[in-house]
Amino acid sequence: MKTVLGREELERVVRAAADRLEGDWLLVGGGLVALWLLPGRTTEDVDLMGLEGSGRERLALMELAAELGLSIEAVNSAADFFVRRIPGWRSEIEPFVIGARGRIFRPSPTLFLLLKLPRLSAHDLGDCLALLARVAEDRLALDVRRVTEALSRLPPTPDAGLQQRREELAAALGAIGHQG
């Protein structure tokens, strides 16, 4: 049976990570969306990666999950594979939670969207649209051109649903681009 983590549990895990784990970490995925954009969002795991990319960090994260009474599958550091493929990702992270021993960062709006583009599931599109609403509301910086170019460079897809989601995101980006 898979674990479903809501906002309260996610806050507990992220706060514990900031207070107990040393160093700098990046929170991405559904956990970030629930804490930053959509309070009702749930997720099956917390995508948290150590910025060093070390095995020591991965082990510490799994040990923290066990201490918190979660399965080790409830924490996931595999996002680093996708994050590290994006040029300049380190300049696209922003402080999110500062704890006693560590700091949890979140992706900038630009990095957030770049991470969601390749898969762009229906869930991902909802997350992206929530982010764009936050960008407009809070006047957050977003490199619309970079994201739009990355979207246009994706390989063609025979999946009509995916194509429709890409077009919807492109239209939403166009609307944001015209506001700024």
State how far the alpha carbon of 86 is from the alpha carbons of 52, 80, 98, 116, 166, in Å. Answer: 16, 10, 25, 12, 19
What are the tens digits of pLDDT across the range 147-157? 999 999 999 99
Q: What is the mean pLDDT of the chain?
A: 94
Beta pairing partners, 23: 102
pTM, entire model: 0.94
User: Taking phi first (over 0 means left), then psi (-120 to 50 degrees means alpha), and beta for anything else, what does residue 173 get?
Assistant: alpha
Beta bridge partners of 47: 28, 76
pLDDT at 180: 47
pLDDT digits (tens, 9 = 90+) for 40-62: 999 999 999 999 999 999 999 99
